[in-house]
Structure formats: C-alpha cells, structure tokens
Chain A
Amino acid sequence: MANSNLPRRIIKETQRLLSEPAPGISASPSEDNMRYFNVMILGPTQSPYEGLGSWRSPSTSSCGVVETGGVFKLELFLPEEYPMAAPKVRFLTKIYHPNIDKLGRICLDILKDKWSPALQIRTVLLSIQALLSAPNPDDPLSENIAKHWKTKEAEAVETAKEWTRLYASGA
C-alpha cells in the first residue's frame, strides 16, 4: 500500500518503538500497512486496569505465567497528514473508563486540539497509559461511566477491575 512512500519520520519512530519499547507498551506495525500499528498497553500498577499476570509481548508471543488481566489492545493509525495531524487511536479491548467509550474511542486532548507534530507514537501511547492511571470523569466521553465514577467511585473502580479481569486477559 503506502509503504513504498513511507515518510522517514515514521520509519524512524517505528524502528525506535521496536528497539526501545516504552515500559508496558508495545506497538508493532502491520505487515501490509506500515501506518497501522497493533498496540498493547499494560494497565498501570495501582490502577483498576492493573494486570496480575505476566506481560506477553506480541512479537515473541511467548508467555509463561497465566495472564489474569491488564493487557489492553489498541489500534493506531497514522493518517496521511501525520505528523501534521494526530494519529488515530482506539481501544480494541473493552474497558470501563470515563474517558473511553464503548467503541474504544479515547477522549484525550493531544489526540484532538492539543496535537503537535513534536509528539510521537510513543508519547501518545504513554499519555494513554497515563490516562488509565488518572481517569478524568469531569471531561467524560462515557457519560454513564463518568457519572458512576463521580457518585460511587469505589463501585466504579470495582467495575473497572471486573472488566479488566473479564476482557483484558491478554488472550
């Protein structure tokens, strides 16, 4: 597809993502479209999205311990305008989070009006990981979840944990 004409910046970013992955984050480009990345983010510790099991790298696909949660799959696409326009990112794994809706869309300023071409795939994914640690129910994408979060936080956190266990098992 567009691979023959991939901007050098994307190649650089990809190489670095593969050679020096950020902790708890893996992103690997699709074979047939280098602008499409399969992403996995490990739920941050001390968040409701924390995984208890081992982290399986998609590149080695080896796994030791049984995973019990906390591995979130995302897809990331670099539009033609990138880096003048933000990457498009979406959770594929179901997640209970006030800033992520049922389609996996993410309410994050740097993906919208705060995008800057100095940001990178890596920084975007780190920001998403940070969003998991710090849900912001005041700027919700899922009204219901946000309401739940604001009124009964402990209960909402429990639901988030439950969803993590149910859906983010990394299988």
Chain B
Amino acid sequence: MDEAIAARYWCHVCSQMVDPIMEVEIKCPFCQSGFIEEMSSGTVDNQVPDSEFGSESALSLWAPILLGMMGNSRRRRRLRRVEYEEGEDDNDDGEATLGGATEFEHEIESLIRRGRSRRSSATILQLLQGIRAGILASESENSEGDRDGERDRVRDRDRERERVILINPFNQTFIVQGSYDSNNDANQNQNPIGSFGDYFIGPGLDLLLQHLADNDPNRYGTLPAQKEAIEALPNVIVEEPLQCSVCLDDFEIGTEAREMPCKHKFHGGCILPWLELHSSCPVCRHQLPADESKLDSERAGNSSDRREFENTNSESNISHGTSVEEGESEERSRNGRRFSFPWPFNSLFSSSSGSQPGGNHPSSTASSSPANAPGSTSQTDEN
C-alpha cells in the first residue's frame, strides 16, 4: 500500500490525477492512454489510506461538500456552524448517512473534534495533506494564526490565502489543495505561494485555476438584488399558457407566479434563488436595485463580509422564502445530514444524500426546496 500511495500519477490527456492501470505499460484508467506521468511525492505522509481518496465514488460523494467548504465561504460559514453543533452533540446521530464515505467522514469528524479550536477548513486540510506533499510550510504558518482564535486575523488571512479543494467539474473526481489568492483573477494568477506550481505545470495548472475561479457562482455577474426589491415583486395569477424560463416547466393556469418589473414571470422558487445571487432578470436582464452592501464581498469573492451577512441573515430569517428553508436545514442536520447550505446549494446533495428518503425528489433544481415551490409562493409574503 505504501508504494501505491507514494506513486501518484497525472494523466496529461485527462488532466487529472489517476490511479493508473499497471499492466505491461502504465495506462490511464479513463482514457486508456499512456501519457501518464508519475508525480514526485517524496514527502507524502501515509496518514490516509489511498483507497479512500482514490476511489471515484468517495470523491464524488464528497466533492460538493468539500468544494462547498473550501470554495464558497458563504457555505463554509454555515457548514462550520453545523459542525460545531454536532461536535458538541453525541456524534452517533450523523454517521449512517453516506454509506461508503463513512470512514472518511469519521476521519474528518475526529479531526474536527480534535481540532475544534481551529478552523474546520484547516483540519480538513490536514487530513488531506496525506495525499499531497509540500504544503507543510505554509500550513504550519497558518495554523499559528488559527490557533490564535482571533477571527479577524483569520479573516485577514483568508483574504490573503484561500485554501482550496478543487473538483474537476468535467469529471468531478479530482481534488487538489493549495493556497490561492482569491483577490486575483485566477486566469492570470501566478500562484503567489507556489504550491500549485510544485505539482502541476502547464495545462493542468491553468485548468485548475480556471475551475477554481469558475466554481463560485457568485463570482461573476450582477450583485444580488435588494431584499426590499425582491419582496416587492408581486404575485400574479397566470392566466395564459406560459413557460417559466428557469425551470422550463409550464405554469399551471390559475397558479401564482412572481412578476418582475419587466413583466417577466417566474415560479417564486425559480426566481428567488437567482435574485439572491444576482439582480438581473433572467430573460431581459432588467436590473432590480442591487444590494450594494454586498459589493465588497461579492466582487472580491472574499469571505469575511459575506460570512457575516450570512450569519445575521440566517439568524433573523430576513430573506424571502428562506425561513422554511432554514428550519428544514436544521431538521436535516438533526437527522444526521450534517451539512446544510442555503438554497440553491441544496442541490449539492443530489449525489451525497441519495440514501436519505424524502426531500430528494428528482425534480427541477428550483423545486428541491418545498418552501419555494410555486404553490406556496404566498408564504413569502409573510414578512
């Protein structure tokens, strides 16, 4: 096993790490090509069994979650909260969920428990360190700041260095970690820390950086719409055959739709998640008033302000249609679903929560939250 771990391979055709087929020649298991390079791994630490990370299923189960933690601070904030709650509970309640991934989960969990005073991303990172060499220097440096426990300092560090776990969106099997300056445009970013470049050169590196940049849906485009503007959108009764441009389903005649100032109509559950991210009409780009308060965080793609925003928001249930969602999330975590993210990221669980009956209808993204289903749009008027 040690040898298997020591040898990591990079397929230049698939642009990803692979566990190659060792026959007469070494081949990539995906593309069958032999254009594979062994990656130097002098300092690999064998803390984590290779199989857990090498298996595609484990990765794809965890990919969205890890991505959520590392890639999007808004999600990360919530995630951490849930983890902390659970850490204080008896840990038994959450174990049965993910089948094959439970071992990995245990690892994470125990690390989280062990390192409660640290940030969860740092502990996860330590776990994953087993499969990546070379980041040790920056890690120890960082954990000093974390141990300090001073959130502001941690935040500042966040701004400087985003820790990253990355999933290749083309096959969802690839994870990498490293330091990343989130304020830079990743397409041109020559990694300031240097750890990416230690492992990936040329196309691989570029692709990784691009994926990194692309994985945050908030990164591009208009700012989120102002809450007041969203709340002011009238509910109208659909009287003519009409399709919702977001879910591509037809409205049922006589049901309610949310109408934008430009008169474009959508299911409440379809348009609200979009307006929480952006302020333009999906059809004609008509601009709703944007929430300028999110300017810094959204534009810079950096975490701290958004994290704060998320915090206040989730506690007071200000935003539309999320109140039920919040309750649902909490319930889920009690049920053993340990991570809950705000809409629309519920759909992140499509692969990881398959074993959980209920709440997983194979419906459109938009209706994955019952609270946002068109039939119940009226409840968004409650506040």
B285 and A116 form a contact (CB under 8 A):
yes
Indicate if the CB atoms of A118 and B362 lie closer than 8 Å.
Answer: no
- Taking a contact as CB atoms under 8 Å apart, the answer to whether A113 and B347 are in contact is no
Q: In the complex, are the beta carbons of A88 and B214 less than 8 A apart?
A: yes
Residues of B contacting A12 in the complex (Cβ-Cβ under 8 angstroms)? 248
Q: Contact: B203 with A81, CB < 8 Å?
A: no
Give the CA-CA distance A118 to B285 in the complex, in Å: 10
Inter-subunit contact A84/B344 (CB<8 Å) = yes
For residue B348, CB closer than 8 A to chain A, the reply is yes
Asked if B351 is at the interface of the complex by the 8 Å CB criterion, the answer is yes
A64 at the interface (CB under 8 A from B): no
Quick one: which of B170, B245, B277, B360 contacts A118, CB cutoff 8 A?
B245
B206 CB, min distance to chain A CBs, angstroms: 6
0/1 interface trace, chain A 138-155, chain B, CB 8 Å (1 if under) = 000000000000000000
Q: B176 at the A/B interface (Cβ < 8 Å)?
A: no
Interface size class of A (residues with CB under 8 A): 35 or more
Measured between alpha carbons, how far is A117 from B220 in the docked complex, in Å?
13
Residues 56-87 of A, flagged 1 when their CB comes within 8 A of B and 0 if not, give 00000000000000000001010111111110
Q: Let me know if A33 and B217 touch, CB within 8 A.
A: no
| Contact in complex: A1, B282 (CB < 8 Å) | no
Judge whether A7 is part of the interface by a CB distance below 8 angstroms.
Answer: yes
Partner of A9, one of B60, B217, B282, B364: B364
With CB as the reference atom, state the residue of chain A lying closest to B350.
A5
Q: Which of A1, A81, A90, A114 is B351 in contact with, Cβ under 8 Å? A: A1
- Against A, the Cβ 8 Å flags (1 = close, 0 = not) of B311-329 are 0000000000000000000
**Which of chain A's residues have a CB closer than 8 A to the CB of B220?**
86, 112-113, 115
- Which residues on B sit within 8 Å (CB–CB) of A79? 169, 214-215, 217
The A-B contact count (CB < 8 A) is 108
Within 8 A of A (CB), among B198-233: 203, 206-207, 210-211, 214-215, 217, 220-222
**Which A residues are in CB contact (< 8 Å) with B365?**
7, 9, 82-84
A78 CB to nearest B CB, Å: 9
Quote the shortest CB–CB distance from A56 to chain B (angstroms).
Answer: 21
Q: Which one of B221, B360, B363 lies within 8 Å of A8 (CB-CB)? A: B363
Do A81 and B344 contact each other (CB < 8 Å), given the known contacts A36-B171, A88-B170?
yes
A94 within 8 A of B: no
Do B245 and A117 have beta carbons less than 8 Å apart? yes
Q: Write out the residue numbers on chain B whose beta carbons fall within 8 Å of the beta carbon of A81.
A: 217, 344-345, 347-348
A14: min CB distance to chain B, Å: 11
A105 to B354, CA, bound (A): 33
Could you tell me the distance in whole angstroms from the C-beta of B313 to the nearest C-beta in chain A? 18
Cα distance, A105 to B188, chains bound together (Å): 13
Bound CA span A53–B73, Å: 50
CB within 8 Å of A: which of B320-370?
Answer: 344-345, 347-348, 350-351, 354, 360, 362-366, 368
B contact set with A: CB distance below 8 Å: 60, 64, 169-172, 203, 206-207, 210-211, 214-215, 217, 220-222, 245-249, 270, 273-274, 277, 280, 282-283, 285, 344-345, 347-348, 350-351, 354, 360, 362-366, 368
Other than the known A36-B170, A88-B214, what 18 A-B pairs have Cβ atoms closer than 8 Å? A2-B60, A2-B172, A4-B350, A5-B347, A5-B351, A8-B247, A8-B249, A12-B248, A33-B172, A79-B214, A81-B347, A84-B277, A84-B344, A84-B365, A86-B220, A105-B206, A112-B221, A118-B283
A sample of 25 cross-chain residue pairs with beta-carbon separation below 8 angstroms, ordered by A number, consists of A1-B60, A2-B60, A4-B354, A7-B362, A7-B365, A7-B368, A9-B246, A9-B247, A9-B249, A13-B248, A36-B171, A79-B169, A79-B215, A80-B347, A82-B365, A84-B217, A88-B169, A88-B211, A88-B214, A90-B170, A103-B207, A113-B221, A116-B280, A117-B246, A118-B246
